């Protein structure tokens, strides 16, 4: 179901192309909304006001001249600040890259530009995408638009908040273990992580290279699909992109699936779910039965093992990827005292440039890769990764998509979760999607009332690798049924 106050991106961009709505008026409308609430929410690290206005004016001039513009002409998009752009800075919300300016655009930015989209700014995140609350940013926490005393989720909390607060039409984020889907759930918007390899990672600052995937945030499944259609595809600059055919899906996501088989894992009906989350899941199951779905009871016994597996693989890859930030080539460089050597430069630069969570994960990753521990931890985690993938393969023999919560809890108070292990468990339902490389999407499944706060509850669908059409069509059915 479409958001009550918004036409779809297909409709809006069509009006811009026809000249009945100007791109400049759309940019100004969003800038007014940002001016009103951004000081309170801090969704953005940087706004590209002049560039967005210039881009909008160029689009309007092209339309007025009668020449063709792209299918996303006039769409106002926010970009997570770990995706590089020539415009402005790319900081990863870290002191390490506080003043870094990229000499090139990421592939996804090139594709958005080619389609006529307008980038309005770069959004806040947990430093180097490591976190589940966007409290780990060197530039301050992003607050939830539904209750500013609560977190927006993470690591793409700024992108989720920007969409939920109506600062833009849609946004891009990155998802390594749930970093698109979990903040989308907590902020009440749609967050879509495609199959690993569907969208180029060229220009995404790497965290866990075998897990990272760029994907869209939007207010509806249809809008997320339109954005996805313009980002997908093989890229010579990213050897991990899949050479798999893609047919545009935006015009097809509204077609209902006939008697879809919806798998519901026993493990997803956990006693660890907040009561409101459990109730939302049961309502969605009832809604699925009402629209003719077959509910299939399945088991995913490695669900709880996913967190420990993820927190071996991801930090190991992060330890390797972040080794380049050494105070020599680029990024933060410490000032040495007389007599201090090169080793001290490395040590001081990294200690000053990286925050506590990033340091924690680098140390963990270095440990599991070290001599004497590699086989015990990293190699074993890779073996479990294969078992998790096989577990999903068996489950999808019985069902078309898998339904469950996105997060076991709604948004929690800022500063209210100080134990890192408790924070990591927020991703219990999302990490295995990345480990297996399959697509997942979070949509709003209702609300929890906590005091005076009405907090969104996210529900997640997962599908087999490259089965995005099935996933998105099923998500559209749930979106309408759960609204």
Torsion of CA 220, 6, 152, 476, to 10 degrees: -10
Per-residue pLDDT of the chain in tens (483 residues, 90 and over written 9): 333 457 899 999 999 999 999 999 999 999 999 999 999 999 999 999 999 999 999 999 999 999 999 999 999 999 999 999 999 999 999 999 999 999 999 999 999 999 999 999 999 999 999 999 999 999 999 999 999 999 999 999 999 999 999 999 999 999 999 999 999 999 999 999 999 999 999 999 999 999 999 999 999 999 999 999 999 999 999 999 999 999 999 999 999 999 999 999 999 999 999 999 999 999 999 999 999 999 999 999 999 999 999 999 999 999 999 999 998 888 899 999 898 888 899 899 999 999 999 999 999 999 999 988 999 999 999 999 999 999 999 999 999 999 999 999 999 999 999 888 889 999 999 999 999 999 999 999 999 999 889 999 999 999 999 999 999 999 999 999 987
Catalytic residue check, 200: no
Provide the pairing of β-strand 190-193 with 213-218. antiparallel
Nearest to 181 by CA among 385, 473, 438, 415: 438
Catalytic residue check, 2 = no
Give the three-class secondary structure for 136. coil
Active-site residue, selected from the candidate residues 8, 93, 179, 200:
179
Domains in the chain, please, with CATH?
Answer: 9-258+410-482 (3.90.1300.10)
Distance CA 56, CA 284 (A): 40
What ranges in 134-274 are assigned the alpha helix state H?
157-164, 181-187, 221-229
Does the predicted TM-score (pTM) go above 0.75?
yes
The verdict on whether 122 is a catalytic residue reads: no
Catalytic residue among 155, 156, 319, 407: 155
CA dihedral 276, 280, 283, 287 (to 10 degrees): 170
């Amino acid at each position: 179901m479409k958001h009550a106050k918004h036409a779809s991106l297909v409709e809006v961009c069509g009006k811009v192309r026809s000249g009945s709505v100007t791109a400049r008026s759309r940019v100004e409308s969003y800038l007014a909304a940002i001016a009103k609430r951004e000081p309170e929410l801090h969704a953005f690290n940087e706004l590209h006001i002049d560039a967005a206005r210039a881009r909008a004016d160029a689009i309007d001039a092209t339309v007025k001249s009668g020449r063709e513009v792209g299918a996303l002409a006039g769409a106002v998009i926010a970009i997570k600040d770990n995706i590089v752009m020539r415009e402005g800075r790319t900081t990863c919300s870290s002191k390490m890259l506080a003043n870094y300016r990229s000499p090139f655009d990421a592939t996804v930015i090139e594709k958005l530009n080619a389609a006529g989209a307008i980038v309005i700014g770069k959004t806040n995140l947990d430093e180097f995408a490591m976190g589940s609350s966007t409290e780990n940013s060197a530039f301050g926490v992003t607050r939830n638009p539904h209750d500013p005393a609560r977190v927006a989720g993470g690591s793409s909390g700024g992108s989720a908040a920007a969409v939920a607060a109506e600062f833009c039409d849609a946004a891009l984020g990155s998802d390594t273990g749930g970093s698109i889907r979990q903040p989308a759930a907590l902020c009440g918007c749609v967050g879509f992580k495609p199959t690993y390899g569907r969208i180029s990672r060229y220009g995404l600052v790497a965290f866990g290279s075998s897990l990272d995937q760029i994907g869209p945030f939007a207010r509806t499944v249809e809008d997320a699909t339109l954005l996805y259609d313009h980002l997908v595809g093989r890229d010579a600059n990213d050897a991990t992109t899949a050479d798999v055919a893609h047919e545009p899906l935006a015009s097809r996501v509204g077609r209902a699936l006939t008697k879809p088989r919806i798998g519901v894992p026993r493990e997803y009906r956990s006693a660890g779910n907040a009561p409101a989350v459990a109730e939302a899941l049961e309502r969605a199951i009832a809604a699925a039965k009402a629209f003719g779905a077959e509910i299939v009871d399945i088991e995913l016994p490695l669900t709880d093992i996913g967190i420990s597996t993820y927190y071996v693989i991801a930090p190991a890859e992060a330890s390797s990827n972040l080794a380049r930030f050494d105070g020599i080539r680029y990024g933060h460089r410490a000032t040495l005292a007389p007599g201090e050597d090169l080793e001290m430069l490395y040590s001081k630069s990294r200690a000053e440039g990286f925050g506590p969570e990033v340091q924690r994960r680098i140390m963990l990753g270095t440990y599991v890769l070290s001599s004497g521990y590699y086989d015990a931890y990293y190699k074993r985690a890779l073996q479990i990764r294969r078992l998790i993938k096989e577990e999903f393969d068996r489950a999808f023999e019985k069902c078309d998509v898998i339904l469950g919560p996105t997060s076991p809890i709604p948004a929690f108070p800022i500063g209210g979760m100080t134990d890192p292990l408790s924070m990591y468990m927020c991703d219990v339902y999302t990490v295995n999607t990345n480990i297996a490389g399959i697509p997942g999407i979070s949509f709003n499944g209702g609300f929890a009332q906590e005091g005076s706060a009405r907090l969104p509850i996210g529900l997640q669908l997962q599908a087999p690798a490259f089965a995005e059409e099935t996933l998105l069509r099923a998500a559209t059915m749930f979106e309408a049924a759960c609204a």
